[in-house]
């Protein structure tokens, strides 16, 4: 038996197929993964993401420590509620984890992956050194993600007037507290929506309210196909400790200026840039019948070979798609080996769908 979120019994009552995910018992789907995927693209749905790790960072040197810890620069968070995406790197420039960082009234809030909780917490504590910083893991909170083009409108109709006003005013990548709730306009689907942190004992009641209002519960299966269509990395597949952000379509999240900021992994990234980054993360589209899967070999004529990191059937596009790490010289065509046969694939930018629209 794995760890369980405060919504475990509700998932069972709703008929969820439960699976192990990073040591947590989580819903894979509630009947149809494909229908849940379409529900988020066309309307909205609610995900239980209470397995995510939330860590508050406080103390007089919180900003300085995060500027050392992260590849992105929290100096860019100019006001309370602003947020940014960043990688946390090891000395080799590999990704220890990726996360969203929020600026709070006092300190910062980190939301990191569930499966990497132990390694993340250990790494953070190991980097504290003499910094005057306190880390507070918020295990008493649950987290719901409500995603889809109608998410904010529907949630605004279910909450108090002050919270509804906040939701309507939130900008993308912004989050604010209202009492013991924290509401952010972020997500992992390529659609607009909210992520709401709230006390664990309030989560079942609010989840019931959402489902009662016609907002469908969505499992991990659709969460994966939605994020793949959006070209968002999954830790452990597309990124890990042996892959740098330069090879993972994450160069935009590295803050090189000021040059005097010596974040962990900076020297390794500078050396990688100087030598020439050898690989890149691209999108693949299979035009024939078949399914692209992680670890399948990608062959680029007269260039070399690569490997699929994530692959699946895209419900929105009705095609098989993938993310793949391939040689930097890769152009617009390639081949993938599926069960001993080679199939032609189109190489595209690694974002297939955003806000319900096909980009390929």
Classify residue 52 as exposed, middle or buried by CB count within 10 Å of its CB (0-12, 13-18, 19+): buried
Q: Give Cα separations from 118 to 19, 121, 122, 125 (angstroms).
A: 20, 5, 6, 11
CATH architecture of 54-123: 2-Layer Sandwich (3.30)
Q: What DSSP state is assigned to residue 258?
A: S
Q: How confident is the model at residue 210 (pLDDT cuts 50, 70, 90)?
A: very high
Q: CB–CB of 320/330 below 8 Å?
A: no
Q: Locate the domains of the chain by residue range.
A: 8-50+139-229, 54-123, 245-358
Q: How confident is the model at residue 224 (pLDDT cuts 50, 70, 90)?
A: very high
Q: Is the pLDDT of residue 61 over 90?
A: yes
| Average pLDDT taken over every residue of the chain | 97
pLDDT in tens, 32-54: 999 999 999 999 999 999 999 99
Q: What would the two tokens of residue 166 be? A: 């906040």
* pLDDT of 281: 98
* pTM score of the predicted model: 0.97
Q: Is the pLDDT of residue 78 over 90?
A: yes
pLDDT in tens, 136-152: 999 999 999 999 999 99
Q: Is the pLDDT of residue 2 over 90?
A: no
245-358, what's its fold?
Elongation Factor Tu (Ef-tu); domain 3 (2.40.30)
Minimal CA–CA distance to 27: which of 43, 42, 45, 41? 45
Q: Which CATH number fits domain 8-50+139-229: 3.30.70.370, 3.30.1360.120, 3.30.1360.40, 3.40.50.10890?
A: 3.30.1360.120
* CA-based max dimension of the chain: 61
């Amino acid at each position: 038996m794995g760890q369980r979120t405060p919504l475990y019994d509700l998932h069972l009552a709703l008929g969820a197929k439960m699976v192990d995910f990073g040591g947590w018992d989580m819903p894979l789907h509630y009947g149809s993964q494909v229908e849940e995927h379409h529900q988020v693209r066309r309307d909205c749905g609610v995900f239980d993401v209470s397995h995510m790790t939330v860590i508050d960072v406080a103390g007089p040197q919180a900003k300085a420590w995060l500027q050392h810890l992260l590849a992105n620069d929290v100096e860019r968070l100019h006001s309370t509620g602003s947020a940014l995406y960043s990688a946390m790197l090891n000395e080799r420039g590999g990704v220890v984890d990726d996360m969203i960082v929020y600026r709070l009234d006092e300190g910062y809030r980190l939301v990191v992956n569930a499966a990497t909780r132990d390694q993340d917490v250990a790494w953070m504590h190991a980097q504290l050194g003499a910094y005057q910083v306190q880390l507070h893991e918020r295990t008493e909170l649950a987290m719901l993600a409500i995603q889809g083009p109608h998410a904010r409108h529907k949630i605004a109709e279910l909450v108090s007037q002050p919270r509804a006003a906040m939701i309507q005013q939130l900008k993308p990548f912004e989050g604010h507290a209202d009492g013991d709730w924290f509401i952010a306009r972020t997500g992992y689907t390529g659609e607009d929506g909210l992520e709401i942190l709230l006390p664990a004992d309030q989560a079942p009641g609010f989840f019931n309210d959402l489902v009662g209002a016609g907002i469908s519960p969505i499992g991990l299966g659709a969460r994966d196909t939605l994020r793949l269509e959006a070209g968002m990395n999954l830790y452990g597949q597309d990124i890990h400790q042996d892959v740098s952000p330069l090879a993972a379509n994450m160069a935009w999240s590295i803050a090189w200026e000021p040059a005097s900021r010596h974040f962990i992994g900076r020297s390794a990234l500078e050396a990688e840039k100087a030598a020439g980054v050898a690989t890149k993360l691209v999108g693949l589209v299979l035009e024939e019948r078949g399914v692209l899967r992680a670890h399948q070999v990608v062959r680029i004529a007269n260039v070399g070979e690569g490997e699929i990191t994530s692959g699946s059937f895209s419900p929105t596009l009705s095609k098989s798609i993938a993310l793949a790490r391939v040689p930097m010289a890769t152009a617009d065509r390639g081949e993938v080996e599926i069960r001993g046969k080679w199939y032609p694939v189109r190489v595209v930018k690694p974002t297939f769908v955003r806000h319900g629209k096909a980009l390929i």
